[in-house]
Structure 1
Amino acid sequence: MNSLRTFWRLAPARWLLVLLVALSSAACQENKPADKGAVGEKGYYTCSMHPQIHADAPGKCPICSMDLIAVKTAPTTPTPTASAAVYTCPMHPQVHQAKPGLCPICGMDLVKQAGHPTPAGSAAASSADLTLTAQQVTLGNIRTQVIGASPEERPAATVLTGTVTADALHTEGVSSRVAGRIEHLYVRQTGQLLQKGAPLFSVYSEQLQALQQEYLLALTQSREQGGAYRQFAEATAQKLRLLGLSAGQLRQLAARGWPNPVVTYYSPTTGTVQTLDVVQGQYVSEGSPLVTLTNLATVWVEAQLYSPDVAKLPLGKSVTVQVAGESGSHRGKVVFLSPELSGNSQVTLARIQLANPGGRLLPGAQANVLLDAPTTAAPAQLTLRVPVEALIRDGESSYLWTQTGERQYRRVRVSTGEGSASSVPVTAGLPAGAKVVVSGAYLLQSEYALRQGATESMNGMSM
């Protein structure tokens, strides 16, 4: 009975101890972290249209009211080695994963960011690097060129644009010597090659017919009476020669003994028909231009150049000419420099004479005249040159895009000198042998500007 009383007297203390143990166990379980992913993994909620929005809980985007989506950042893991790869989204560079997958914001395939395993924003990440997909490289026509790979590289030549024209010194026009009607036209199209002595056209002329009759009468009288009639016959023959009849036609006229109302005219030179200003059956007057013939054994290239380049192109200088459609180049000689500027364009004209065996170079073709680069500079003074389209100018600064890895590009700031129409010298900022983007640089610059703007917006508007 005493022991029973003792139990009930001590029961409240025992029950109190049991209650404390239960509460302690529950508290431990509450403090135990929930299994929501890898240890140290963090996440946030963002808008797929406005990635600068960050929130700790689900909700609506304050800009477009779309539902926020969950984004998990990389779990806390040991720092990867230099050879480790990081996969990121081309449109959302804030996303980084250690393995391939899809972007949690836009669903695009993540691309490998080789050589930059640390997340953007860390000390080792370069904000000037871009990694593109293979499709972006193809659509953007991204092409690179190694600049300064050879120690023998010299400054590029100055390029002048020009046009192939006919050599006026080897061009001859044929006009009508008499008034009459073109009975037959042997040449019907331009570009036709004619040999010297080939028939051009036949003309009916009453004037020619009367002179032929006068010549035949003078010949007959000179045979019978001689003296003054012989001189008269020679004067009449000279008139016919001046009107275009050849010595052979005069002999045929004398042998035939009667005038021919239709006289044929022949090509005075070998050449190509450049212009044709008459049709068969047309009446022409004395002096009317009919055909223009040009000998394409030599041609001119007429190039425009600014005043500072005139000193580089003295008369008699030999230059290299490249003609559109021709695989090789040609050497020509400067034969003319215009002494005046052309109108308000502040350019002058230079003519370069080229040999044209076979007549392959046709008037009207586009051509480039290359002024030889100076060779007196010492090797230490030589500078690298890049194409004009590779240079990006942003205010007073100049930039180039270089390739640093597979589909990976970096923007570098450079200093430049005075360039030509095709190339610009780089005086500082570009090492020899760098792979410079020569096509698609403006696309990379636009992509870089978009990503920089998105990063600045996220830094300034994160929730």
Structure 2
Amino acid sequence: MKRYLNILLLALAIVVAACKGDDHNHAEGATEYTCPMHPQVVQNEPGTCPICGMDLVPKTVHGDGVEITDDLAFLLKPTNTTVVANIATIKPEQKTAEATIKMDGIITYDPRRVYTVPARVGGRIEKLFVKYNFQQIRKGQKLMEVYSPDLITAQKELLYLVQAAPEDKQLIQAAKQKLQYLGATNDQINRLISRGEESYTFAIYSPYDGYVIDLNATAPSPAATIASAPATSAGGSMDAMGGGSAASSTTTTPGTPAGQAIQLREGMYVTVGQALVRVVNAEQLWAEFNVPAGEMNSIAKGSPIQITFPQLPGEKLQAKVDFFQPFFDEGENFAKVRVYLPRDNKQVMVGQLVSAEATYKTEAALWVPKAAILDIGTKMVAFRKGNGVFEPVEVTTGTTTAKEIQVTSGLKQSDVIAANAQFLVDSESFIKVNN
């Protein structure tokens, strides 16, 4: 009986052990589900990913799970903290470079060759032969004919002395000088003596070659005009013209304030010393260029410069800087560069737009390709590689050449940067520079 009882207990123990083994195997064989795109999502039953909506798949068949390596963990980081890309890298190069400054300018005349033809005598313009600006004139060309009581009186004095006292050479010479001071030329005086009769209109000739650039005369004040009115003279016709002069002097430019520029025209009165026309001699012309403040230290007097003409493709002119002057205008610093153009250059005209390039050698500094620097508006950024990732770094730039740009601060020669900084551009807010 005791033997049968032992056999029964042994059988019961075997059954219990078998049941425990089945439960263990069932627990070990439980399947977990995960998202193919987001391995961090894991659950014990099928379903969809709460992040992207994809169907969950069994995490593993053998129970090993998905191994999250360092590289995979790095890829799972937010995209605005690091940038991963397989791009070329470079190091800044310490060297000197040949840089070029591009400038735009204009052809202008030499102000030292601008001359004013003043009125040496007061009177009325009877005929005007120069009627528009930039009209070309020659030395000795007649500009206008003027009626002047003072000139008539001086002519009569000379004729009287020549006819009444030809032996008094001293008085005759004084009368000639008076006419010369009033603007008469030697030819006019000789013709007056040979003709023996005064002229009521007197021609004014240009003493210069060039172009008329200003036909605006300054309106005389009423007091000056009245003071220059002719006095009563012996000749009746002269009295009548003088009276007309006095009357017209107060009504020629009604309502025109003294000192205001008016257009020179026939019939108007001029006073002694009043500017009639301005003449510019265009034999020597300038090319003037404005240089930004950042490039002022790169150009000096004598620097070579190459001038091109947009209207004449292929035409180039080699010259040197003749004058360099810093300017400060409306809160902005710049410099004016002046270049004298050859006298025999027929392709340049006053007012013509031109371009120029000045080449110079920079001091030793760090240089990188222009593509390695990204301008995001408020900052200049380069992407420096560190710990396997690229991080944006703010830099300060200087001179720019055709292919390279100078870096004055923000990088070291040992830094490794992205050769092309444009690979990152998705939006400006994407780049977060650590200050």
TM-score between both structures, scaled by the size of structure 2: 0.53
Q: Which residue of 2 aligns with 1:199?
A: 142
1:297–1:359: 8 Å Cα contact kept in structure 2?
no
Deviation for aligned residue 1:323: 4.6
- Name the structure 2 match of 1:418: 398
How far apart, in 2, do the equivalents of 1:238 and 1:359 lie? 42
1:43 match:
none
Residues 127-142 of structure 1 aligned to structure 2 (within 5 Å):
none
Q: Is the 8 A contact 1:413 1:429 kept in 2?
A: no
Partner of residue 194, structure 2: 255
Letter in 2 for 1:212: Q
Q: CA deviation at 1:336?
A: 3.5
CA shift, 1:264, in A, is: 1.2
Do the aligned residues in 2 keep the contact of 1:414 with 1:429 (CA within 8 Å)? no
1:342–1:348 Cα contact (<8 Å) kept: no
- More off after superposition, 179-188 vs 330-339: 330-339
2:360 aligned partner? 373
Q: Could you tell me which of 204, 211, 215 is aligned with 1:272?
A: 211
- Give deviations 1:140-190, integer Å, cap 9, x for gaps: xxxxxxxxxxxxx96331234433321112221112111111111111111
Q: Relative to structure 1, is the Cα distance of residues 191 and 376 closer, same or farther in structure 2, using a 3 angstrom cutoff?
A: same
State yes or no: 1:304 paired with 2:271: no
1:216 aligns with 2:202: no
Instruction: Name the SS of the counterpart of 1:265 in structure 2.
Output: strand
Tell me, in whole angstroms, the C-alpha distance in 1 between the residues paired with 2:176 and 2:377.
Answer: 80
Question: How far apart are residue 253 of structure 1 and its match?
Answer: 0.8
2:427 equivalent among 445, 449, 458: 449
The answer to whether structure 1 residue 355 and structure 2 residue 350 are counterparts is no
1:299 is displaced (CA, Å) by 1.3
Determine the C-alpha separation between the residues in 2 that align with 1:383 and 1:315: 27
For normalisation by structure 1, the TM-score amounts to 0.50
How many Å separate the matches in 1 of 2:378 and 2:201? 76
Aligned residues: 283
The partner residue of 2:273 within 278, 282, 287 is 287
Instruction: Return the match for 2:351 from 364, 384, 400.
Output: 364
Question: Which residue does the alignment assign to 2:375?
Answer: 392
Contact 2:327 2:335 in 1 (8 A): yes
CA deviation map 1:391-440 (0-9, x unaligned): 5336655379xxxxxxxxxxx99977412699961668687xx9x9xxxx
Could you tell me how far 1:288 is from its partner in structure 2? 1.4
**Structure-1 separation of matches of 2:339 and 2:123:** 41
The answer for the alignment partner of 2:105 in structure 1 is: 162
After the TM superposition, which residues 68-87 of structure 1 pair with which residues of structure 2 at under 5 Å, given as runs? Answer: none
Q: Is residue 173 of structure 1 aligned with residue 151 of structure 2?
A: no
The equivalent of 2:170 in structure 1 is 231
Summarize the Cα distance change of 1:234–1:311 in structure 2 as closer, same or farther, 3 Å threshold. farther
Match runs of 1:328-347 below 5 Å: 328-338=315-325, 341-342=328-329, 344-347=331-334
Counting only pairs closer than 5 Å after superposition, residues 431-450 of structure 1 correspond to structure 2 as 448-449=426-427
Structure 2 unpaired stretches of 5+: 1-50, 56-78, 88-95, 217-263, 384-391, 408-415
Query: Residues 380 and 397 of structure 2 are in contact (CA less than 8 Å); yes or no, is this contact kept in structure 1?
Result: no
Question: How far apart are 1:276 and its partner, in Å?
Answer: 1.2
On the 8 A contact 1:191/1:274 being kept in 2, the answer is yes
1:50-65 equivalences in 2 (<5 Å): none
Contact 2:304 2:359 in 1 (8 A): no
- Quote the offset at 1:239 in angstroms: 1.8
8 Å contact from structure 1 (residues 159, 420) kept in 2:
no
Counterparts in 2 of 1:376 and 1:339: CA distance versus 1, 3 Å: closer
Residue pair 2:292, 2:335 contacting (<8 A) in 1 also: yes
Shift of 1:318: 4.4
Change (3 A) 1:258 1:420: farther
Which structure is richer in relative contact order (CA contacts within 8 A, separation 6 or more)? 2
Deviation at 1:374, TM superposition (A): 1.9
Give the SS at the match of 1:290.
strand
Give the residue type in structure 2 aligned to 1:393: I
Give me the whole-angstrom Cα distance separating, in 1, the residues matched to 2:335 and 2:354: 17
Change (3 A) 1:308 1:183: same
Q: 1:255 to 1:395 in 2, by over 3 A?
A: closer
Q: 1:340 to 1:158 in 2, by over 3 A?
A: closer
8 Å contact kept, 1:171–1:295: yes
| Whole-angstrom distance in 1 between the partners of 2:336 and 2:152 | 49
Looking at structure 2, the residues matched to 237 and 192 of structure 1 have their Cα atoms a distance apart, in angstroms, of 32
SS of equivalent to 1:220 = helix
Relative to structure 1, is the Cα distance of residues 164 and 220 closer, same or farther in structure 2, using a 3 angstrom cutoff?
same
The Cα RMSD (Å) is: 4.5
Please name the residue that 1:186 is paired with: 129
Partner AA of 2:172 in structure 1? A
Local SS of the residue matching 1:158: strand
Cα pair distance change 1:384/1:219, threshold 3 Å: farther
Deviation, 1:55, is 5.8
Q: Structure 1, unaligned stretches of length 5 or more?
A: 1-52, 58-120, 130-152, 401-411, 454-463
Q: Quick one: percent identity of the two aligned structures? A: 23
Instruction: Report the Cα offset of residue 376 of structure 1.
Output: 9.2
